[in-house]
Structure 1
Amino acid sequence: MNVAIGVCVSDERSFELSFRKQSAEFALHFSEKYSDGVDVGFWLFTDKPVPIPRPAPGQLDSWGDDWLTPENHTERVRGEQKKNNLARLRREGKLFQGLRRLSPMMERIIEASAGLPGHTVAVLLLDGSPYDGEAFMNTMRKAAKYPLFWVFIGTAWNEHCYLGVVETLGRAPGDPDNFLMLHTSNWSGLTRWLTARRIRRAVERWKKRTPVG
């Protein structure tokens, strides 16, 4: 199984920052434990996806400080604030410049996974509803012909994260069935275990009805 990961970084509320790191950690641990194929990629996104490197072994915490938190949360060196990579992406206009959109992120994953052997699972972590509902649905229908399974996780600390158009999947005749939608407001050990189990079971059911050559 190949795994791709996308993390939405559109919200900078201070109490959400550590939760964003925990969400990314869950996706990374899931990928490391259950992937037996290709690392399809790791992206941050708001309106457009930006590829970033995965953390080196033993560097998850410093990696999260560098890529998932704003610069005012990083250490000060010699009395000056250290600039991190998330701040650099903001200055370069690659993130936080537009509304939260899902379809560009999904198109990038479709492109990156095209031609890979076996099945691909894309784990997308969202902090709110996307603003490109029609484009999102068109991309979902387009992706239905590929051996590609989508996991949408609404992540919000201590509250329910409404995912808008994503919440409507499966309600209309002809909707694609290659997806799982989840919500979480904590990443306790039990939540991590239950979430990973739900994803594995949904993927296994989908794989049985979606053979690959």
Structure 2
Amino acid sequence: MRTLPLPELSEVQNELVRQAFLRLLHSGNPVPETQLNVATAAGHVDVHHELDALVAAGRVRRDDNLRVTGALGLTLETTRHRLLLAGRTWHTWCAIDALGILGALDASGSIHSTSPPDGRVVEIHFEQGRPARGDLSAVVYVPTYRPGASVVATWCPNVNFFESSSVAAVWASGAGVDGECLPLVAACDLAATRWRERLTPSGSAITG
């Protein structure tokens, strides 16, 4: 697997997701639409309309006040994937999100997750963006993406850590989930590359 099996976003959408992620990371609070501002050569972007499309695709989540609560895998909601970063506790939508965030930021921190078959705890400690201690023999199951499906609602719940590829295979077969099992280091490399791309400002979609 050379890249994650997810559809690409437009440059405008990438920039909105990037901004939302960085503001969530900085403040730890929901992000109002008014704090997201993107322009292109054609003029300013309808942020509300673009966020609606991102929510429908499962790439962003908002609360009842239309504030962003999740972007680029980082979420204010509680999930099975807990991320300790810069002295704060976060959650991510899936295992790949946690790996990508720590890897792309070259951060030291830790991931505390549970495996879906039996709730077995998986802990991985990072130093400068690389796994250093903990369950280093863990694997990550990356399911096949079904075109048109919500990423956060249908793909992310099946992207999890497992103690071994054999355990992951048994779970995937029983759950009817097609995909591929990746060793931890390979999953880290794949995720970090993707998140670095996502955190790079777009050339034509810029903050206004």
TM range (shorter): under 0.3
TM normalised by structure 1 equals 0.26
TM normalised by structure 2 equals 0.26
Judging by fraction of residues, say which structure has more strand.
2
Judging by fraction of residues, say which structure has more helix.
1
